[in-house]
Amino acid sequence: MRLPLHELRWLKRAALDSNRPLESLVQRRLNHEPLQYIIGTQPFGPLHNLRVRPPVLIPRPETEDWVIRLAEHLSSSFSGRPLSLLDLGTGSGCIPLLLCHLCPNIVATGIDISPHATRLANENAEVCGIPHFRFKAFLGDFVHPGFPKAEAISPPYDVLTSNPPYITPDDYLRLSDDVAKFEDPTALIGGSDGLAFYRAIASLVARQGFLSPKATVALEVDHSQAEIVSDMLSPAGFKTSIWLDPWGKKRTVIAQRQ
Amino acid sequence: MASPEDINRLRQLKESEPLQEAWDHWTSTLKALEDVKTLLNDPDPAMKALASEEAAELNGELGTILKQTFPSLLVPPSTTANLSALVELKSGVGGTESSLFLETLLRMYMRFYQSNSWKATIVAENDNEGGGIKDAIVEIKGAGAYDTLRWESGVHRVQRVPVTESGGRVHTSTVAVIVLPLMEEQDAQKEALYSMDDIKLEVMRARGAGGQHVNKTESAVRLTHIPTGITVSMQDERSQHQNKRRAFQVLSARLMDRKITREIAERRATKNSLIKSVDRSEKIRTYNYAQERVTDHRIGLSIMNLSAVIEGNALHDFTDALKKDYEETTMEDMLESES
Q: How far apart are CA A197 and CA A219, in angstroms?
A: 11
In chain A, which ranges are E strands?
Answer: 83-88, 106-112, 135-139, 157-162, 211-220, 238-244, 250-257
Same domain, B38 and B109: no
The CA distances from residue A201 to A71, A189, A204, A254, B334, in Å, are 21, 16, 5, 13, 73
Of A165, A176, A246, the CB nearest to B203: A246
Of A42, A65, A166, nearest to B212 by CB-CB distance is A166
B224 and B238 assigned to the same domain: yes
CA-CA distance, A243 to A230, in Å (whole number)?
A: 11
The CATH label, of 3.40.50.1820, 1.10.443.10, 3.30.1490.20, 3.40.50.150, for the domain at A54-257 is 3.40.50.150
- Phi-psi group of B230: left, alpha or beta (phi > 0 → left; psi -120 to 50 → alpha; rest → beta): beta
Does A164 reach chain B within 8 Å, measured CB to CB? Answer: no
- Residue (of B113, B80, B277, B78) closest to B183 by Cα position: B80
> Which phi and psi (to 5°) does residue B245 adopt?
-60, -45
Is B191 within the bounds of a domain? yes
pLDDT band at B336 (very low <50, low <70, confident <90, very high): confident
Point out which residues pair with A257 in neighbouring strands. Answer: A238
Q: In the structure, what pLDDT confidence band is assigned to residue B255 with cuts at 50, 70 and 90?
A: very high
Model pLDDT for residues B170-224, shown as the tens digit of each residue: 999 999 999 999 988 777 777 788 999 999 999 877 778 889 998 877 788 999 9
Dihedral over Cα of B300, B303, B307, B309: its sign: negative
Residues of B in contact with A222 (CB under 8 A): 209, 211-213
Q: Which of B99, B215, B218, B233 to mutate to test the interface with A (most CBs of A within 10 A)?
A: B215
Through-space distance between the first and last CA atoms of chain B, rounded to whole angstroms: 46
Instruction: Give the residue from chain A lying closest to B125, CA to CA.
Output: A6
Three-point CA angle A176, A178, A182, nearest 5°: 120
Q: Look at residues B74, B98, B121 and tell me which one is the last residue of a structural domain.
A: B74
User: Which residues in chain A have their CB less than 8 angstroms from residue B208's CB?
Assistant: none
Residue B246 lies in domain = 187-205+219-271
Q: Is the Cβ pair B215, A179 closer than 8 Å?
A: yes
Q: How many domains are there within chain B? A: 3
Side-chain half-sphere exposure of B204, counting CA atoms within 13 A: 16
Q: Which residues of A touch B215 (CB under 8 A)?
A: 34, 36, 58, 60, 176, 178-179, 183
Distance CA B268, CA B271 (A): 5
Measure A18 CA to nearest chain B CA, in Å. 17
Quick one: B200 and B328 in the same domain?
Answer: no
Domain limit, last residue, from B74, B102, B128: B74
Across all residues in chain B, what is the average pLDDT? 88
pLDDT tens, chain A, 258 aa long: 567 778 898 999 999 999 999 999 999 999 999 999 999 999 999 999 999 999 999 999 999 999 999 999 999 887 778 999 999 999 999 999 999 999 999 999 999 999 999 999 999 999 999 999 999 999 999 999 999 999 999 999 999 999 999 999 999 999 988 888 999 999 999 999 999 999 999 999 999 999 999 999 999 999 999 999 999 998 888 999 999 999 999 999 999 987
CA distance B47 to A181: 94
Single out the residue in B44, B74, B104 at which a domain terminates: B74
Backbone angles phi, psi at B337, to 5 degrees: -75, -20
| pLDDT tier for residue B18 given thresholds of 50, 70 and 90 | confident
| ipTM of the complex, rounded to two decimals | 0.89
The answer to whether the CB atoms of B215 and A183 lie below 8 A apart is yes
Where residue B244 sits, what CATH number does that domain have? Answer: 3.30.160.20
Secondary structure letter of residue B168 according to DSSP = -
> Does residue B1 form part of some domain?
no
Q: Is A43 on the interface with B (CB under 8 A)?
A: yes
Classify residue B99 by its DSSP letter: H
Residue B44: inside a domain, yes or no?
Answer: yes
3-state secondary structure of B174: strand
- Nearest-CA distance from B223 to chain A in Å? 13
For B43, other C-beta atoms within 10 Å of its C-beta total 6
Same domain, B126 and B254: no
Q: Are A251 and B212 inside 8 Å of each other by CB?
A: no
Are A247 and B213 inside 8 Å of each other by CB?
no
The answer, for A253 touching chain B at a CB cutoff of 8 Å, is no
Helix axis angle for A61-78 and A94-102, nearest 10°, is 40
Q: Which of B127, B211, B215 sits opposite A34 (nearest CB)?
A: B215
Do the Cβ atoms of A178 and B211 come within 8 Å? no
Same domain, B91 and B176: yes
**Do B234 and B256 have their domain in common?**
yes
Within an 8 Å CB–CB cutoff, is residue A184 touching chain B?
A: no
Q: Mutating which of B204, B212, B237 best tests the A interface, going by the most A Cβ atoms within 10 A?
A: B212
DSSP state of A189: B
Cα gap B262→B149, rounded to integer Å:
19
Q: Are residues B150 and B115 in the same domain?
A: yes
Q: What is the CATH number of the domain that holds B155?
A: 3.30.70.1660
Residue B302 pLDDT more than 60?
Answer: yes
Query: Sign of the CA dihedral A75, A76, A82, A87?
Result: negative
Q: Nearest Cβ partner of A179 from B214, B241, B242?
A: B214
